[in-house]
Structure 1
């Protein structure tokens, strides 16, 4: 534990109902519930989600300690039957030696050198979308960002956009993600797997479509050489990967990792872009500065991955949008024997939670926390942000493997759109809704203004 970490002194949280605990209050408005816990009870609070005891921690030092220790004193909490059906036994849900093996196999396919090869597709997909919009046209921002990122991830993952099958596949993934979101907010979180609710039946139908296509693509790859996976798409690289014993991933393991990369690379980035564009529409000075940076660095040419580090203000916009609206808003772990936080023993079986949403909006770390201020992230800012006060991709051994891919993608897409148009949204405030990700509760419709 870092020397400066404060002692852990949990307070007892709001009283819950028998068996359900605080599930109903949490399910009605999870984001408001988390904010209430932080503001009324401080850095550590005990509560209950259903019959299980829980501990929420909000201080960056405790979060750092928790995330760094998750493979030792803490184990992964598998949230819900629906989520497990989508990602299977991918690196996200694997444990112990199986997790170490899969992480070693998957990590190389998303290293910075590999991300460079995917950058041209990111720019082409964003440019094609913006060039297809008409001046004065009204568009659904979230839907359009989802189409852009879906095309990017399909080309990066499968080597092409799959033609007409892409829409069918995208619809199936949307249905699967909606099923997970519904389960997270209700009693379905505690139902055994054999209970087939309408939502679960829709999920199984969607997974039938997804699995048929993924396994077809896997078999297709088996029929051709891919130069040991070094120059191919993500799927080819997954199939070419070998562990220390020379063993490849099995077809089902490839399926699990491919679907996980697809879900993470598509929906989380489209959500970050949606919120970025919403925030920029209400911040004329920040948007003007973005356009000036794009004009200075890019001019009339397309962005490249080499521009990423030079697009400083663009990256600060993305980082601030991820602070205000982190797509992944909740991270849980289960205490094992010997677990401790802040010098205090944590009872085995306790679910320990941290929340990017709540900590990112803590006024101790971010003055005027609800305001969109990209300048917070300037390398010359007067006030440094503490470690783990910002953690949209998690941290420690279980940090998101695709964090670099997502940040490069968001910045290059945002710069490409700003080069071509402005998206003006109505002045009313968008309401966030927590499901699998933090999404706008209602469609955000923008008017396209083409730029010369």
Structure 2
């Protein structure tokens, strides 16, 4: 029997399969699909993910409207069973008064003053990694950056090195990434929670490992507190946090926020650094300017938090890596009554999507958009970046709480390592896998070269 296509909405958009909508094209390559919506159909495109009717918006000002209206005329969209299993009902998922309470409790732990106190740990861990590299050695950049940011996340979040437990945590998070991406791009997304597939069983096992590790460190903190030895880390601040009624975070809430902060401090930064090294490997001029800045600002010493503001080119390298490879590659919300985007009414229940990947690779806002050009972010750049065209951390009231932590961490780690080494990843860029974050599909091999032979 030959399948037929449903007619599209009255507005121009891709034709849809019965029951599946545009799921086949989306599942094959979500990033290319979003770009095709933008290029072939415009800035406001109706499409369907299974039975869910959606609108894709690709103008920066429309993305900003969407982000600014979440918690008023839009509500966050939970992207499947696996997503909820991993993040629980943490600040990324919660809505309404529950979200406002959790945000107020979590936000103080990641304010700039607190990030300053974590900078020394970031530098110390990066310097220890550099001490293990040698000229001519071959490394997997992604594995190295993931291990480094994991150590930083564990120490700043949990106040310990989790000695002997890094591998189970890393393996569990990798499994969760794979299964979440697989569910989001397949029919499993539409199955009820009680259906047990092999992928869902793997996801449950991975989440159980993460839950066990979080519970272990919570008990360590409680034992230390009982002895009068308070710990100055993120988890310690979450344990001490009280809402306006004097209530603490519950055990489940502590778990959810710990996982959320761990992903923000580990997964997003490790991928950003991996892509930054790959991009620098193919851009000798940008790499030379980075070395010049590190020599001039640091003079051979390790960076401190105070150096962050002066490492302007280093920051621009990070920003450009985040432009080309935003860890959070899609943002979606569901319209409520009275929702409007770009002066146009959005029917209640419609999903409205935007993609940092698609918007940040649009030639209208970024000339030669596929090219790695940190000079785009120069103060006197000839083509200033339009407002709202760069949003790798979201925006509006639900912008990522850990954005400052991630930016400082990426810049300081890059400064520590790049002052001594160049990583030659070769001419072939790694392929991209859109899971929970934008990951390489496999290892990213590189040869370690000293900055000064």
Structure 1 length normalisation: TM-score?
A: 0.96
| Contiguous gaps of at least 5 residues in structure 2 | 1-8
Is 1:85 aligned to residue 99 of structure 2?
Answer: no
Q: Single out whichever of 10-19 and 419-428 deviates more from structure 2.
A: 10-19
Specify the alignment match of 1:271 in structure 2: 271
State whether residues 77 and 333 of structure 2, in contact with CA within 8 Å, keep that contact through their aligned partners in structure 1.
yes
**Equivalent residues in 2 for 1:389-400, closer than 5 Å:** 389-400=389-400
Q: Please give the alpha-carbon distance, in whole angstroms, between the structure 1 residues aligned to 2:405 and 2:347.
A: 37
Could you tell me which residue of structure 1 aligns to residue 367 of structure 2? 367
Distance (whole Å) between structure 2 residues aligned to residue 10 and residue 227 of structure 1: 67
Shift of the alpha carbon at 1:247?
Answer: 0.5
SS of 1:164's equivalent? coil
Question: For the residues of structure 2 that align with 1:115 and 1:228, how far apart are their CA atoms?
Answer: 24
DSSP-derived class of the 1:65 partner: helix
1:196 paired residue number: 196
Could you tell me how far apart the structure 2 residues matched to 1:226 and 1:146 are?
A: 33
Instruction: Determine if contact 1:185/1:435 at 8 Å carries over to the other structure.
Output: no
Alpha-carbon distance in structure 2 between the residues aligned to 1:429 and 1:179 = 24
Deviations 1:222-242 (A, max 9, x none): 223399999611111000000
1:125-147 Cα distance to aligned partner (Å, 9 max, x none):
11111210121111111111100
Correspondence 1:17 to 2:23: no
Match for residue 242 of structure 1?
A: 242
1:171-186 equivalences under 5 Å are 171-186=171-186
Q: Distance in 1 between matches of 2:226 and 2:342?
A: 50
Supply the distance in 2 between the matched residues of 1:196 and 1:125 (Cα, whole angstroms). Answer: 40
Superposition pairs of residues 299-318 of structure 1, within 5 angstroms: 299-318=299-318
Query: Is the Cα–Cα contact under 8 Å of residues 153 and 265 in structure 1 kept in the other structure?
Result: yes
C-alpha separation in 2, matches of 1:351 and 1:70: 12
- Residues 10 and 87 (structure 1 numbering): CA distance in 2 closer, same or farther, change over 3 Å? farther
Alignment root-mean-square deviation, CA:
1.7
Q: Which residue of 1 aligns with 2:3?
A: none
Displacement after TM superposition at 1:172 (Å): 1.5
Bigger mean CA offset, 285-294 vs 428-437? 428-437
Counterpart secondary structure, 2:301: coil
Alpha-carbon contact 1:184-1:436 (below 8 Å) kept: no
1:431 offset after TM fit, Å? 2.5
2: CA distance, partners of 1:226 / 1:389 = 49
Q: What does 1:132-171 align with in structure 2 at a 5 Å threshold?
A: 132-171=132-171
Corresponding residue of 1:421: 421
In 1, Cα distance between equivalents of 2:440 and 2:173: 18
Aligned counterpart, 1:63 = 63
The whole-number CA distance in structure 1 between the counterparts of 2:31 and 2:11 is 20
Other structure's SS at 1:385 match: coil
Is residue 31 of structure 1 aligned with residue 31 of structure 2?
yes
Task: Look up the match of 2:6.
Answer: none
* Structure-1 separation of matches of 2:372 and 2:27: 27
1:208 Cα offset (Å): 1.5
Question: What's the CA shift string for 1:414-445, capped at 9, x where partnerless?
Answer: 11111111101111233223222222233210
Matched, 1:351 2:366: no
Report if the CA contact (8 A) 2:105-2:242 is conserved: yes
Report the counterpart of residue 216 of structure 1 in structure 2.
Answer: 216
Q: CA deviation at 1:451?
A: 3.3
CA distance in 2, matches of 1:158, 1:32: 38
CA displacement 1:105-138 (0-9 Å, x = unmatched): 0000000000011111111111111210121111
The number of aligned residues is 444
Mapped to 2, the partners of 1:187 and 1:305 lie a distance apart of 46
- List alignment gaps of at least 5 residues for structure 1: 1-8
Counterpart in the other structure of 1:5: none
Q: The residue matched to 2:54 in structure 1 has which SS?
A: strand
Q: State the distance in 2 between where 1:367 and 1:407 align.
A: 24
Matched, 1:95 2:95: yes
Distance 1:433 1:209 in 2: 23
CA distance in 2, matches of 1:352, 1:222: 43
Query: Contact 1:12–1:47 at 8 Å: present in 2 too?
Result: no
Cα distance in 2 between the residues matched to 1:313 and 1:263: 26
**Contact preservation (8 Å) 1:21, 1:51:** yes
Query: Is the contact made by 1:10 and 1:43 (CA closer than 8 Å) also made in structure 2?
Result: no
Query: What does 1:254-333 correspond to in 2, within 5 Å?
Result: 254-333=254-333
Alpha-carbon deviation of 1:300? 2.0
Q: What are the equivalent positions in structure 2 for 1:42-53 lying under 5 Å apart?
A: 42-53=42-53
**Alpha-carbon separation, structure 1, partners of 2:316 and 2:339:** 36
Q: Partner of 1:47: helix, strand, or coil?
A: strand
